[in-house]
Chains A and B, each alone.
Chain A
Amino acid sequence: MKATRRQFLELSAAAAAAVLGPRLARAQTSGPRVVVVGGGFAGASCARALRQADPKIAVTLVEPNATFTACPFSNSVIVGMRELSAQQFTYERVAADGITILRTSATAVDAPARSVTLADGAKLAYDRLVLAPGIDIRWGALAGYDEAASAQLPHAWRAGDQTLLLRRQLEAMDDGGLVVIAAPANPFRCPPGPYERASLIAHFLKTKKPKSKLLVLDAKDTFSKQRLFQAAWAELYPGLLEWVPLSKGGNVTSVDAATRTLVTDFGKHQAKVANVIPPQKAGRIAEVAGVTDRSGWCPIDPVTFESKLQAGIHVIGDAAIAGAMPKSAFAANSQAKVCAAAVAALVAGGTPSSPKLINTCYSLVAPDYGISVAGVYQPTSGQLADVPGAGGVSPSDAPRETRKAEAVLAEAWFRTITGEAFG
Chain B
Amino acid sequence: MHRVVAAAIGLASIAAAAVVAAEPPAGAAACSGCHPSSPRVTSPVVRLAGRDRAEIIKAMQDFRSGARAGTVMDRIAKGFTDAEIQAIAAWYASQK
Residues of A within 8 A of B (CB): 49, 53, 330, 333-334, 337-338, 341, 344-345, 353-358, 360, 372, 374-376, 378, 387, 389-392, 394, 402, 405-406, 408-409, 412-413, 415-417, 419-420, 423
Contact = CB atoms under 8 A, between A and B. Distances in A.
A40 to B, nearest CB: 15
Contacts of B43: 412, 415-416
A387 B79 contact: yes
Nearest to A334: B30
B41 A415 contact: yes
B41 A416 contact: yes
Contacts of A360: 33-34, 72, 76
A328 to B, nearest CB: 10
Contacts of A372: 71-72
Given A49-B29, A341-B29, A413 B34 contact: yes
Interface in B38-61: 38, 40-45
A420 B26 contact: no
Contact of B26 (A49, A356, A416): A356
A390 B29 contact: no
A83 to B, nearest CB: 19
A412 to B, nearest CB: 4
A42 to B, nearest CB: 12
B71 A420 contact: no
A350 B79 CA distance: 27
Contacts of A355: 26-27
Nearest to B40: A423
30 contacts: A49-B29, A53-B22, A334-B33, A337-B30, A338-B29, A344-B23, A353-B26, A355-B27, A356-B27, A356-B79, A357-B27, A360-B33, A360-B34, A372-B71, A374-B76, A376-B79, A378-B26, A387-B78, A390-B76, A390-B79, A390-B80, A408-B44, A412-B34, A413-B33, A415-B42, A415-B43, A416-B35, A416-B45, A419-B40, A420-B36
Interface residues of B, number: 30
Contacts, number: 111
A293 B77 CA distance: 35
B26 A376 contact: no
Contacts of B80: 356, 376, 390
B20 to A, nearest CB: 13
A345 B24 CA distance: 12
Given A356-B80, A360-B76, A391-B75, A409 B29 contact: no
A166 B72 CA distance: 32
B65 interface: no
A265 B94 CA distance: 60
A389 B29 contact: no
Most buried by A among B30, B32, B35, B43: B30
Contacts of A390: 75-80
Give chain B's interface secondary structure class: loop
A107 B22 CA distance: 36
A354 B26 contact: yes
Contacts of B38: 419-420, 423
Given A360-B76, A406-B71, A415-B36, 15 more contacts: A49-B29, A334-B29, A353-B23, A356-B79, A358-B79, A372-B72, A389-B78, A389-B79, A390-B76, A392-B75, A408-B44, A417-B34, A419-B36, A419-B40, A420-B36
Contacts of A402: 71
Nearest to A418: B41
A334 to B, nearest CB: 5
B43 to A, nearest CB: 4
Given A341-B24, A353-B26, A408-B44, A417 B79 contact: no
Nearest to A390: B79
Given A412-B45, A415-B41, A420 B79 contact: no
Contacts of B23: 53, 341, 344-345, 353
B84 interface: yes
A353 B43 CA distance: 31
Contacts of B32: 337, 416, 420
Most buried by A among B31, B37, B43: B43
Contacts of A49: 29
A355 B27 CA distance: 6
Contact of A409 (B30, B44, B79): B44
A250 to B, nearest CB: 30
A419 B41 CA distance: 6
B5 to A, nearest CB: 17
Nearest to B69: A402
Minimum-distance CB pairs A-B, first 4: A376-B79, A390-B79, A356-B27, A419-B41
